[in-house]
Amino acid sequence: MTEAVIWYLFAAMTVLAGGIVAFSRHVVHSGVALLFALLGVCAMYVFLGADFLAVTQVVVYVGGILVLVLFAVMMTNRIMYSSLREEIMQPAAALGASAAVLAISLLVIHRTAWPLVRTTEALPTTQAIGRAFLTDWLFPFEFTSILLLVAMIGAAMIIREQKDEEGTR
Amino acid sequence: MMQIGLTHYLTLGAILFALGLFIVSSRRNAIVMLMGAELILNAAALNFVAFNRYVSHGLSGQLVTVFIIVLAAAEAAVALAIVLAIFRNFQTVHVDNVDRLRH
């Protein structure tokens, strides 16, 4: 009972924050609302018994991606307030498409008889995840490290000042 | 209703996905579009963890979610680098003002 109430509170926070991200006029407000949406998903991971993922969610998303996003917002936001009418294009079409996707998803979710199994919660999961990464999931794990390296080099290459070209101009 | 089950998590995931889809398809600001992409990725990850908890044995869903988070980090780094490069050349981050490949 109490757990359900707390769950609904976190779910409401997540959806509300997502709505603010979608409909806020101010990019910084969207970024701060995204923080609460990500924290809500983190709370869902806690409810689902995924302790390692909850911590990873906070560390990577809130500590990394969100700081990066807010950094980019601060660097690029020349006009702080732009009207929502200028900011959102084709609102009716986008709203219709999203609502259709949502309706179909909800229909599928509630019509399908999910093959539920009673799983025992194995907490903490950190050791099992680490073991799986270095045994059965070793190739994706190593591949991901290469991907991160490539992304890092690529981001640095893209953002680099091209001094010689600008000097000749 | 008061017992939280799989459908609750899937419903939340569907709502987050629809919100992200709306953001990606309607906003002009590239950074806000990226935030929508993050919401979509989070919805997918939430579904993976929910299915892992209620439908499967083992930890595969949680492992896939770790990869989703890593891919989201890589994607955000590259996308924001592109946004900053666009801003340097065009002085805007509104995607419909960026319609040239070069100066």
Domain boundary among A83, A115, A132: A83
pLDDT of B97 reads 79
Total domain count, chain A: 2
B32 contacts in chain A (CB < 8 Å): 21, 27, 30, 87
Which among A101, A144, A156 is the nearest to B21, CB-wise?
Answer: A101
- Asked if A55 and A132 sit in the same domain, the reply is no
User: Under an 8 A CB cutoff, do B69 and A61 touch?
Assistant: yes
CATH code (residue A6): 1.20.120.1200
Residues B48-93 have pLDDT tens digits of: 999 998 888 788 899 999 999 999 999 999 999 999 888 888 888 8
Domain boundary among A29, A60, A83: A83
Chain A segment 50-89 residues within 8 A of B by beta carbon are 50, 52-53, 56-57, 60-61, 64-65, 68-69, 71-73, 75-78, 86-89
- Asked if A66 and A140 sit in the same domain, the reply is no
Under the banding of pLDDT at 50, 70 and 90, the label for residue A100 is: very high
Q: Does B10 touch chain A (CB under 8 A)?
A: yes
What class is the B6-97 domain?
A: mainly alpha
Omega before residue A124 within 30° of 0, cis: yes
Residues B27-59 have pLDDT tens digits of: 888 899 999 999 999 999 999 999 998 888 788
Query: Does any domain span residue A136?
Result: yes
Instruction: Provide the shortest C-alpha distance from residue B97 to chain A (in Å).
Output: 12
Residue span of the structural domain in which A72 resides: 1-83
ipTM of the complex: 0.90
- Where are the alpha helices (H) located in A24-137, listed in sequence order? 27-47, 51-56, 66-76, 84-87, 91-111, 126-133
- Asked if A58 and A135 sit in the same domain, the reply is no
Mean pLDDT value of segment A73-90: 69
